Amino acid sequence: MKLGVHRVAAFFLALLLNAPAAVCHANAQTKHALATLAPSADSHQQSAVAPWWKHAVIYEIYPRSFQDSDGDGVGDLSGITKRLDYLKDLGIDAIWLTPMFPSPQVDFGYDISDYTSIDPQYGTMADFDRLAREAKQRNIRVIMDLVANHTSDQNSWFKESRSSRNNPKRDWYIWRDGKGPGQPPNNWLSWFGGSAWTLDPKTNQYYYHYFYTEQPDLNWRNTEVRKAMYDVARFWLSRGAAGFRIDAISRLFEDPNLRDDPILPGTNAYGDPNIEHKYTDNLPEVHEVLRELRKVVDGYPGNPVLISEADQPNIVELTKMYGQNDEVQLPMDFQFALVNRLSAPAFRKLIDEIDRNRVSGQPYFFFSNHDQPRQWDRYGDGQNNDQIAKLTATLLLATRATPQLYYGEEIGMVTTPPARKEDVKDPIGKLGWPKDKGRDGERTPMQWDTTRNAGFSTKETAWLPVPPSYEMRNVAVEEKDPNSILNFYKKLITLRRSQPGLREGSYEALNRQDEHVLSWLRKNPLQGESVIVALNMSGEPRRISWDLKSHGIKQLIARPLLTGPGWDRAEAPLSGITLAPFGVFIGAVQ
C-alpha cells in the first residue's frame, strides 16, 4: 500500500523509469482562443491562439498558512487579497487555492460540508468576490479545488444519506452490508490507515471512504451526484473561477463487485498490510466523468482549465487523462515531486519520457505541494542549499512544462515537521508517528518578515509554529538582497515570459551522456533566438561544451541570459564553459 501521499517515491519512480513509451493523445487547446483577460501569460504575440494555461506560472496557496488578516492565527481570504501585489511582483499568472469551504477541518478543508460557501474562519463570500475581483485587476487567475471524490460526514448530503436505508440520498454514497458480524464488506484499505469501511450503527451498514472515516466517498454511478458536483463547478465558474484542480480524481469509482484488493508483502506506517488499490483506483469510468466535466467548464468564457490530481504510477496512465482533447488540460506530473536526489541522468530520463508521451499535450511540473516535503530539504546538501534552490527553480521554470510553485518555495522555506507527537495537527501524522509525521511540516506559515510569526499573524501563536529559519528566510529580507532565491525566481519568471524560445520552444535534450550536467535546448519554432540551459547537478565544478549544428544552431557562442554563480562574461563559447558546483547557465543561441 502507498504510505500517505508523499511516501511513495521509490515505488512510483521505479515503475516510472520502466514505463513503456508512446501514447497518442490529442492536443488540448485551440477550443477557445484568447481569454477575456489579457494576462501577462498571454502578452506575447505568438500566443494569440495558445490557451493561457500553456504559458502560465501557477502558484499554489494553502489559505490556512498564507496570511492571517484578523489575528486568529489562521490564514484567510482577505490575507491573500492583501498579498496580491507581492504575487503580481513575483510574476505569477494564476493562484490555485486549496479548499476554503465550510469544513470540520479533519483533513484541513478536504472534508467539505458545504460546497458553495466560504468557511467563516477564512472569511465570507464577499471576501471571496473581492479576492477574485482584485486578482483579475492584476491579471491573476483563481483556480479552485474541486473535491469530487468525497465529502465531509457533516455534509447535509451525507447526513441525509445515513439517516435511513430508504432515504432518497441513500445511493449518493456507497453503503454495503458487512460480510458477517464485525466484518467489513471486503479488504479495501483507506489511504490514511485502517479499513476503508466504517459501520454506521444507525442503519447497520458500512459506508466506504478512500480517505478518513470522516470523508465518505460519493457514489459517482449515481446521476444525481454527478449533477450536484457539476452544479458546484458551475457555481464557482460563474463567480469568476478560472478552472479547477480536481482532487483525487483517479479514485472516483470502485469495483461494483467489491473484489478484494491484492495484498503485497510488508506493512505500512500505519501498521496495515501493504495493498494494491486495484479495485478502487483508476477505473476506466473516470474518463467519462472527466469528459462530462470538460463540457461543463467549456460552457464558460475564458477557457477554464482542468487540472487533474492524478498521482499515477506511470506516465502512460497519466497521459491517458488528456483524452482526445476532451478531458483535462494539465495532469499533475507527480514525477518531479517524487525524485529524491539531484541526478542529471534521472531527470533527463524523466523529462524525456514525459515529453515523448505527450505528442502535443502539455506537461505540468511541480516539486512541492501541501502533501510533499519541500524541495529544499529533498535536494539541499547543507552547504549549497541556496544555489540548489536556484537550480531546481530553473529546472521547474525553463522546460516547456507549465510550472507550479508552492507558496514559500520562492524564498527557500524548509519542511519543519512537529518535534512532538502531541503537537501534530495532521491526523495521518498522529496515526503514523514516528514513521510518518504527517504533512504539517510542509504547511507552516508563509514567512513575510522578521516580526512576530514572520508577519503571518499577530496572534501569539499561529495554527502551526513558524519555523526558526524565518529570521533569514523571509520576503522582506530577500527582496533587498539581489542574490536571494526570491530575486532569482523573479528574474527567471521574467525571462520565461520575455524570451520567445523559453515560451514557445520545443524541448531537445543535449549532451545525453553527461553524468553531471543536465542540459537542453528550447528551440524557437520561429526565426530568432533559441535558448540553451545547463544545470550542474554535482558539488564539483564541471565543464560542458555543446555541438548544436544538428539542432540548426549556426553560431558558436551563446549570449548569457541568467547564470550563476560566478559567471559574468558577455559571451559564452559553445566550445566549453565551466559551471560552478550546482551552477546554472541559461543562454540565447542562434
- Residues recognised as catalytic: 247, 309
Least CB distance to ligand NOJ at residue 107 (A): 5
- The answer to the question of residue 211 lying near ligand NOJ (CB under 6 A) is yes
Q: Is the peptide bond before 434 cis (omega within 30 degrees of 0)?
A: yes
H or E element in which residue 227 lies: helix 223-238
The item of ligand NOJ, Mg ion, none sharing an interface with residue 247, based on CB under 5 to 8 Å by kind, is: ligand NOJ
Q: Does 478 bind ligand NOJ (CB under 6 A)?
A: no
Q: Is there binding between residue 107 and ligand NOJ (CB under 6 A)?
A: yes
| Alpha carbon distance 341, 196 (integer Å) | 33
Number of H helices, E strands in the chain: 17, 21
Size of the site for Mg ion (CB under 5 A): 5
Residues 6+ apart with CB under 8 A from 6: 337, 371, 372, 373, 439
Tell me which residue of 345, 320, 342 sits closest to 331, measured CA to CA: 320
Cα(92)–Cα(404) distance, integer angstroms: 9
By a kind-dependent CB cut-off of 5 to 8 A, residue 127 interacts, out of Mg ion, ligand NOJ, none, with none
Note if the bond before 465 is cis, omega within 30 degrees: no
Choose, by CB under 5 A, the member of 5, 35, 41, 74 that binds Mg ion. Answer: 74
Rounded distance between C-alpha atoms, residue 13 and residue 312, angstroms: 11
* Residue 110, binding choice from ligand NOJ, Mg ion, none, Cβ under 5 to 8 Å by partner class: ligand NOJ
Q: From the CB of residue 17, how many other CB atoms can be counted at a distance below 10 Å? A: 13
Q: How far apart are the first and last CA of the chain?
A: 50
> Considering only residues 108-167, where is the footprint of ligand NOJ by CB under 6 A?
110, 147
Smallest gap from Cβ 36 to Mg ion, in A, equals 32
Answer yes or no whether residue 436 interacts with ligand NOJ by CB under 6 A: no
Q: Give one word for 140, left, alpha or beta, with left for phi > 0 and alpha for psi -120 to 50.
A: beta
For residue 408, the number of C-alpha atoms closer than 13 Å in the C-beta half-sphere is: 34
Tell me which of 60, 127, 247, 386 binds ligand NOJ, using CB under 6 A: 247
What does the per-residue mask of binding to ligand NOJ show for 261-290, with x meaning CB under 6 A?
------------------------------
Choosing from 60, 68, 107, 127, the residue that interacts with Mg ion (CB under 5 A) is 68
96 lies in the binding site for ligand NOJ (CB under 6 A): no
Q: Which does 478 bind (CB under 5 to 8 A by kind): Mg ion, ligand NOJ, none?
A: none
- The nearer residue to Mg ion, 72 or 160, going by C-beta atoms, is 72
Is 327 an interacting residue with respect to Mg ion (CB under 5 A)? Answer: no
Which residue, chain included where needed, has cell 492536443?
27
CB of 211 to ligand NOJ, least distance (A): 5
User: Burial of 60 by CB count in 10 Å (0-12 exposed, 13-18 middle, 19+ buried)?
Assistant: buried
CA-to-CA distance for 113 and 57, rounded, in angstroms? 31
Cβ pair 531, 561 in contact under 8 A? yes
Nearest distance in Å: CB 371, ligand NOJ: 5
Q: What is the pattern of x (binds ligand NOJ, CB under 6 A) and - over residues 369-388? A: -xx-----------------
Chain residues that interact with ligand NOJ, rule: CB under 6 A = 107, 110, 147, 211, 247-248, 309, 370-371
Chain residues that interact with Mg ion, rule: CB under 5 A = 68, 70, 72, 74, 76
